[in-house]
Each structure stands twice: as C-alpha cells, then as structure tokens.
Amino acid sequence: MEELDPSFPAPARRRFALKRLLASGGMGRVWLALDREWESLVAVKTANFRSAEAAVRMRAEFRSFARVHHENVVRLYELVGDDQSCCYSMEYVDGENFVRHVRGTLQDGQPLDGPGQARLLRATWQLVEGVEAIHAAKILHRDLKPDNVLVDGRGRVVIVDPGIAARLPGAHDTAPDTVIGTMAYMAPEQASGAPQGPGTDWYAVGVVLAEACVGTPPFTGSPLSVLNAKHSGTPPALTGIGEPWRGAITALLHKDPAARGDGVAVLRALAAAVVDTRSRLTRSLPFVGRDSELGRLTRAWERADAGRVVLIVGASGSGKSRLVEEWTSSLRGALGARVFAGRCDPRESVPFRGLDALEDQLTPHGPGRLRLTATTPTVDPIPSREARERAFAALRDRLLDEARRRPVVVWIDDAQWAGPDTLALLVDLARPPLPAGLLFVVTARADVELPAEIVALRLSLGALGESDARKVAATAGSPELAGQIAAASAGDPLLLSELCRAAARGGLPVGGDVRAVIAARLTELPPDARRVFEMIAVAGAPLSTPILRRAPVSDPLASLSILLAERLVRVDPSPTGVQVLPTHDSLAEACLAALDPLSREDRHRAVAAALEAAADPRSELVATHLELGGQPHAAARSFLRAARAAARAFAYRAATLAYERAFRLDPTLADREARVGQAEILAALGLRHRAAEAYLAAEGAQACAPLRVRAAEQYLLSSRIQAGAPLLAGVLAAQSIPSKEPGVSLLLSIAWAHVRLAAGWLPKATTADELHVLWVAAASLSPFQPLLSHWYGALYALRARAAADPSALARAASLEAILLARFRGTWFGRFAPERAQDALRLARLSPHPGDLAYAYVAEAAVHWSVCNAVEAIAAGEEALRRYDSVVSPTAHWEANVARLWLFAVYLLDEQHDKLMAMADLVERDAAEREDTWALDAGMFWATARTHLLRGRPERAAAAVNAVLARSESGGHNVGEILADMCQADVALSAGDFGGAWAAVLRGLPRRARHQAEIIPAIGSDYYFRRATIAAAVAAGRGDLPAATRTQAAGYARDDIGRIRRSGAVYARELSDLTALHGRVVRGDVAGVGDELERLAAAFEKSRHRFWAHAARALAMGAEGVRDSAWQAGLYVDIYLPGVVVAPGATPVSSR
C-alpha cells in the first residue's frame, strides 16, 4: 500500500511510491520508496512541511552531498520538486547503526570482546574514509552519530543524512545562540555557535567510537550538563576502553579542534595493522598550467566594454571546473568577490536548474523571495508571461545591487544540461548594460548557443602541455615515474588522474600502460558495478536508463551510481532522456581488452536482453549483440525484424545491410517473402542489378512470372540488356503479348494504337500482371529500342484505360505524352501537350505520389521536345523535388529521366552551374550503384561537357568511349546517338576539324538506327552542330581533301532546311543563325552584324539565352574576336567552329 506525505512534491508522486517511513526528525522524514523508473527500492527524504524555506533547504542539502562520491558516503540519486516542496532520492541502506553493529549482543558497560574489536577496527577504517571524503568535498556533516552511520549486511559503513551539512570554509552559518545537531555528539564549538571546521566532525567520531567501545557516550546527563562538561576541557574518564583506542578517542575529544588531528593519525595507524588503508578516495591533483586560460579569464573580467559571459567548453574530465575554481579563488582573495555557483545536474528535476541556486542565495526564503520556479497547479494558477518577466527583472535587480557592492561571479557548471528556461534566464540576466564587477561563467562539454553580443570569451580546453603534465605527475613519485605518467597520458587530464591514482596506490605497471591501470581499477569495483560497466563498454553506443535498469544485477541504480562516483561513466542529454556512456574511450577499450571471449559474449547477450526488455526500437542493435554474443540464429531473426522496420521507416540502406546479415547468419530465413522484401529495398535504392538478382533468388525452383518481370525490369533499367531482354521476351511470349520487328509494320501499328486511343476503341479487361509487363517493356526498352518501346507503351495505354485504375490511367497518360513528345515533328506529336495536361489531371486523382512526379516528368519532356527551356526547367525541377519523397522500385530511374530533359534545357538557359552539379551527381551515382543507365541514356554528354568546361578533355573522351563500348557490347542504347557530337566537341576544343568531321561521319549509322532527329529538340540541335562543322570543313578548315569538302558543303546546305522543318519553337531563327555562320566562315561578313543582333534579340525574347549568346559570339567572330566570356571561349570553338582559332590551337589552313 502506498503511503501519503503532505509535503511530497507533485512531480515526485509520478516517479516514487512511498512504502513506509524509515526515520523522522526535526529536519525531515525519510521514506522507503519504489523508484518506478528504475524499478528499484530507494530512500526518499521529504521536508516536514511545505514552504519556500523548506524547499531551499532541501535543495541545498542535496547539492552539498551530491558532490561527494565515495563508497562510505550515501549515494544521492535525484532531486525533484518546485518552489514550495522538494524531495530527493538516495541509496537505501538496509543496515544497523554503527554502535549496534560493533557491539552485537553486548550489554551497555561491557567492554568489547575479540570479535567486537575486529568489527570496530574494520568499521572505523571505513568511517574515517567516509569523513575524509566529505571533507575533501569541502563539506562538514555536523550531525555524525550512530544512527547516521549505518553498516549493511556486507559490513560496508555508510554515512547518511546530510540534513545540516555546511560548506567549508565558512561553516558558521547559524546564530551564536542557535544550536543545530545532537547535543551528545556535538563538538564544543558547534554547541556554542562558534566557527567550525573539520575538527567538528572528528569530535563526533570520537564520541561514536567511545560509545561503540562501552555502550554509552562519554558525556551523559541533561543537555546543559553535557554542554558544561564539554566546555570544561576536562577529558572524560573513558572507563573500560583500553589503549590504543583510549589515546585516539581522548585526542578526538580535545576541546581544541587543532589537537584532534592526532587522534585521526592514531586511527589510521590502528587500521594499517590489519587492513590496506591506502585511500580509495581519488585525491585532488595539484592545479598547474592553464596560464593562458587564466590570463584570458582575467582579461575578460577587466574588459568593461564587452559581453559579460565567458563560455568554457571541454570534454568530461578536461579540468573546466578546476580552472574556474582556481580563478574564482584568486578573485576572492584579491578583490573579495562573491561567487554564486550552480550546477545543471541531470539528477535534478527542478525548474531553472543551475540558476535556481542564485535565487536561493540572493533571497533564500520569506516574503521577499522571487518565486521564479513555477508552483504546482493545485497550489497556484500558472503564472502569466508578464509575471515571469517581472520575476526575471526582480532577480536581475537584486543581482545588480549585489554587484554594485562588491565583485560578483555567477558560475553555471555542466550547462549542456541547462534547459531552455535556464538559458532564457541567463540571457536576460546577462543582457547589457551590466556593471564591470559582474561576470557570468558557463562551463559545458559542448558549445551552448548564446547571443554573440553577451559573450565576451569562448575558451576550449584541450590536453595539458608536456611540462604541465609532468608537474601534475610529480606528485605520484620520482621524476622518472612522472615522465612515464605524463607520456602515457598524452596530457589528457582524465588519464593523467587515473595514472597518478594508480601510482599513489603502488599499482602503476612498468611503462605506465593505461589499459593495465584501468583494468586493475575495474577489478576493484563491486561485481555488479563492474558487470554494468562491461555492458556499457561492449554496447559500443550510449545506453539509456530504461535499458540499464534491466541489467542482470541486483541493483542497477546503485551500480550506476558507483560508476558515476568513480567517474567511469557520464550521462549525456538526448531528445529522449539521458544516455550513459564511458567517460573516456580508453576506459571502454581497456575494459574490452581485459574481457575473455566467453565473458565478452555474455555481456553482449546481456545488452541484447536489456534492449529487448526495454522495447528498444533499434532491432539491428539487438541483432548485433546477439551475433557477438554467440547466438547467430536469434541474431538472424532480429536482423530480419530490423530490416522490415528499417524499410517501413524508409531507411533503405540499413534495411539492405540487415537483410544481408540475416541471410548470412541463417540461410533458412531467406524464403520468398524475405527475398522479395530485400529486392524491393534494393530497387528503391537504385541498386537495380542487385535487385534483379534478389528477385530471381526469390523465384527459386518454382517459376513465378511476376518475379521474372521485376527482375527483367531491374536489369534493363540498369543497362544490362543481355540479362534482362531474354527474361522479358520469355514473359511476353508466355502472356501472348505480340512483339514487332522494326520497320514500316511497327510504325503502322503504333499509328493504329494511337487512333484507337483517340477513338476510345479499348481492349477487353486485362490482368494486373499483363499491365505490369507492358509497363516494364515500354519503360525499360526506351533507351535501347525506342520504337518498340513506343509500341508497348501504346498497348499499355490502351489496357490501362480499359482497367480504369486511377494510378494506371495517370501513368498511361504520362507515358503517352512522353512517347508523343518523341514525334513532335509528326501529326501524332501535336497531341503531346494535351496528353501531358491529362496526365497531371489524372495524377492528382491517384493515391500514389509517384504518379504526380511522373506526370511532371512527362510535362518536362513535352516542353523539352520543342525547346521551351523555361517551362521544361520548371516541370523537371518540380518532378525531382517530388521524387525526394517518393518510394517505389522505379523512382530513381524516373528521376533520372527527368534529369535527361533538364540537362539539355539547362544548356539552353545557360544554367551551367546546375548542369555541372547534375553531371557530377549522375557520375557519382553511377559509380556507387554500378548502374550506368542514366549515362547510357544520354547523361554522359553532360559529364563529358563538364569535363571540357573544367579543362579535362581526356576525361571527356574517356566518358564517351565508355558509353560506346557498353553500347556495342550490351545492345545499342539511345545515348549512343550523342557520341558523335561529344567526340566532335573534344576534337574542336583542340582545333582538330578533321577529327570533328570524322566523328560526325562515324555517328551517321547510329543516328539512322534510332531516328531520334524526329524529336525537334534533338533534330534542331544535331542539324545545327553538323551544319556548322560541315561549313567549317567546306571553307577549308582542317586541310581535308576536296571530295570531303564537297561532301561537307552538301550537308551544310541541306541541314539549314532540316532545321527549318524540325518543329522547334525557334526553328526559323536557328536556321538563319546556321546560314550566317556559313557566310562568316567563308569570309562573307558584310551586313551580318545587324542580322545577328536581330536574331539575338529574338532569342532573348523567347528566353533562349544560349542561342542569343551564340548569335552575339558569331557577330564578334565576324570581326575576328573570340568571345572568351562565353564559357571561357570553349563554346565559340565547338558551336561556331572555324570562325576564330582557339588559343593554343594551330590552324591547319588559312582562312
């Protein structure tokens, strides 16, 4: 049954379930509670009442002890609360008090027997260690007594209840007439309200030890008599206590605090006889070096005209806090500065953490308190924005008042944990104007975003220099040993600390091997803590607290607390909470190196089990740990789940790797469903040939026509014609879909299919498989057999209309528009724009987003086909934008089709940066995917042109030759028709007119094979290029035979007419430009300037910048000037050949 506590903060009620009351006193109550997040029993301390004063005290209490990390001091976990109530959780110590543990069944007054003496010795050593750890953190406990020193079942001594702890120095924070503590155990100075120091706690230790020896405290009676006895200075009788305990206790109970150190020395000597008393506490190393950083801090302080925030960034253990402590200490001594220090502790669930301490210290309680922190809705309404701004302003006013009285430093540590509210308050407090005596210091592991106007300095802490590292290491022993430590640590402050610690304990191996030191340290950990650290080390990735709480140990929370105290792990913020990881990579590496293979496998299995128990979504991480844990079959099943999960999240590369690992670990999982899933992922990634192999593997021994069609599609769309064509032909034959041989019959069949489409004469209903086969045939054959592709596309369009499927109808209209765009120079081609608009309309009705993207591809094709550059660019870029979010087996290929249209119109619009970027992308993509389709379909032209623009003609030539080689060996692709002009470009860029004309002649059979000039965009461009090269040759450029010049003159003359009949939107202007080029190369330049300016204006009006530039460059050429601004003159040489000589090229004949 859950208990109720009226002062229990509302936020804590969701986290902790109170089970029973463990203790109650004047400062609060301690409950046994269940931590629901960790599923662990903890102790929770609450205040006795709700008030701002109580909340401030609870926060201060938690923060004073939260900095103490020692096995013999209670481990504090988390602080939760608001401005009226706070509580904190801590380790639940199931034990008895110190005196009962030591005395056992002995009656009061009986001296200790032999077993009691042994228990006293072991417990005393631990008590001394715990007290020294508290003092090392500059804290006084002030309430040490048997009930606050517990011993658990393993004999571990734990100091608890920091209720009235205070900071050192300056523990005198109570009024002289106020007594806080337990009278029987108080030192005289504490009882009188005088200044206190470490001796105050040692006095209490002496009282506890005396009581343990004889059963009663040395001073008894009424509080007043006890107080008088302590102030008399007369030592107690200590009857029944023998030496050497008597001497130690007498010294500890001395009235003079300075004399009590002798008793501590005796206790250490007693313990040394039977136990290893080398301290487990990591002693503070001396602060050395960082002179540059200290100087920069001082200069930032002195600069009154700059921002007043210093940001110090460095890795965990780099010495950020030590640097600030050293600097503020010197500032206190020199100027009497007041330092307000707050830490953004991830264990605290309070508003404005890190800066709420500033509020607590400026106005700790009472009616003047600013109430920055929001009260719970059950107490007060949620404050308005205006109220928050007033609270900010009031706190700033109080801070500025303090800074006007004396210098003030506000230090926020671990700001990587600062929430947005903390940062907002910091920015408000630090906004100008500020007095010169106020500085904010922010320390963090990573950069913190702050406005530039408030930041005076950004410091980044790295490794110490060699000389500074040696100075630190000198505390560990001889100069030789210090040199070893400095060298082994490479100046890393954290590793330096580890090595010095090992040296102090006599455990530093020869050569200062860091791994050996860390491995030895790990063996000192409790077994459960070591196991948890080993899990964190083998995980290879940060682990969240929900995962760690499922570690196979008795108390994961306690183990994690030990690791944090030992600075072996750190917690980092993440969007989903906190992540735990090793403090330094060397710690994990040393841990892994020390694990034997069987233990390592066990830890991997433990991590996998914890991940699964926490329902962690990272199935691939679970699978990896199962595999490394020696469970291949379980790992394979987990990889298969990971692959499917990654596919649903569109993480296709991860899905592909997961499928491969699953099938490798357990081939029996590679059934048809799994293989098809893998194939679809590979297809979506554009790894088409691998997708085809996966589809065929999925088919297995039992034939499956749909899988063979998919395999054929992927082979053909990756330019693997020899593998894909037979597969496709077999399926087409099996489904009785007729094929056609190139020729008149095929052209008539295509025409008849379009007549049927126009008239609505549709076939009977068709199956989805037949429809898919026709789509594959139409789409994948287009680069290699465009007319046959058109035939299958027409059949697909007919059957798609008959099927009345929205997606099929949209794709049919898009495909028909693309096919008709190829024939814009014919009667059928005039229907292309209409079908493109139909495609857009139908695609908007389709549930598949890829259909609308494909419709924009069709629109781009229609505009490109007649050289409408602006409209083609708009449609093509819209298609690519939509394909960014489209997932389908053909999406990557369809996007490349869009790029085909774009590269040509980018040239027309002179968007060379876009053209070159796209060429680079396609070239990289082809190499990464081992897929040359885009290059073979014509994009190699863009890559070749890009290489020429960058002055790499040899790479341009290699790109063209590679396409021609693939075309000859694997089936003639449509891209080969552009090879002639690419080879001519390379030749003309070197001034080789003979080479350019030879390239034109070699290309004639390829052009005849594909009949691509029927497309106006291709025809007009090709005829212009051929005509200008022919005109240059006919005019004597290249010193070629007379027969060749005569042949060229015929082409130059006839191609002017072909351009005029091409159907391009600028056909008349381009044919005129071609004719004027012929006049210029023949030397007939009279009057050409005015005509060329008229053409340039016409091209500009229709937004065909490329041809406008060509006209103006030709006008300059007529005057003997090479237009070097037109792509560094390259385009003059290859588009206006023979007009002027390229720099560096040797003219082979005179003009």
Whole-number Å distance between alpha carbons of 63 and 65: 6
Could you give the count of Cα atoms lying within 13 Å of 526 in the half-sphere of its Cβ? 19
Cα four-point dihedral sign 142, 144, 150, 156: positive
Position 1068: which residue type? Answer: R
Catalytic (active site) residue 1021: no
Whole-number Å distance between alpha carbons of 556 and 606: 13
Backbone phi, psi, residue 139, to 5°: -130, 145
Q: Are 314 and 35 in contact (CB under 8 A)?
A: no
Backbone phi, psi, residue 902, to 5°: -65, -40
Whole-number Å distance between alpha carbons of 1007 and 637: 54
Whole-number Å distance between alpha carbons of 273 and 794: 100
Whole-number Å distance between alpha carbons of 272 and 268: 6
* 270 DSSP 8-state letter: H
Which of 579, 570, 561 lies closest to 318 in space, CA to CA?
570
User: What end-to-end distance do the CA atoms of the chain give, in Å?
Assistant: 107
Which of 967, 927, 966 lies closest to 943 in space, CA to CA?
927
Q: Are 531 and 550 in contact (CB under 8 A)?
A: no
Beta bridge partner(s), residue 580: 543, 571
The distance from CA 269 to its chain's CA centroid, rounded to whole angstroms, is 54
Whole-number Å distance between alpha carbons of 675 and 92: 53
Whole-number Å distance between alpha carbons of 710 and 713: 5
Q: Are 1046 and 1017 in contact (CB under 8 A)?
A: no
- Three-class SS of residue 78? strand
Catalytic residue among 5, 82, 143, 492: 143
How far are the Cα atoms of 652, 855, 906 from residue 880, in angstroms, in the given order? Answer: 19, 11, 14
Structure tokens at 913: 């940066």
The distance from CA 793 to its chain's CA centroid, rounded to whole angstroms, is 45
Structure tokens at 995: 């080479």
Whole-number Å distance between alpha carbons of 900 and 1120: 36
- Write out the DSSP string of 481-533: HHHHHHHHHTT-HHHHHHHHHHHHTT-PPTT--HHHHHHHHHHTS-HHHHHHH
Whole-number Å distance between alpha carbons of 416 and 423: 10
* % helix, strand, coil for the chain, step of 5: 60, 10, 30
Whole-number Å distance between alpha carbons of 379 and 373: 13
In the chain, the largest separation of any two C-alpha atoms, in whole Å, equals 135
Position 822: which residue type? Answer: R
Beta strand segments in 157-200, E: 157-159, 166-167
Whole-number Å distance between alpha carbons of 615 and 986: 61
Whole-number Å distance between alpha carbons of 709 and 734: 11
Structure tokens at 701: 């021994």
Residues classed as catalytic: 143
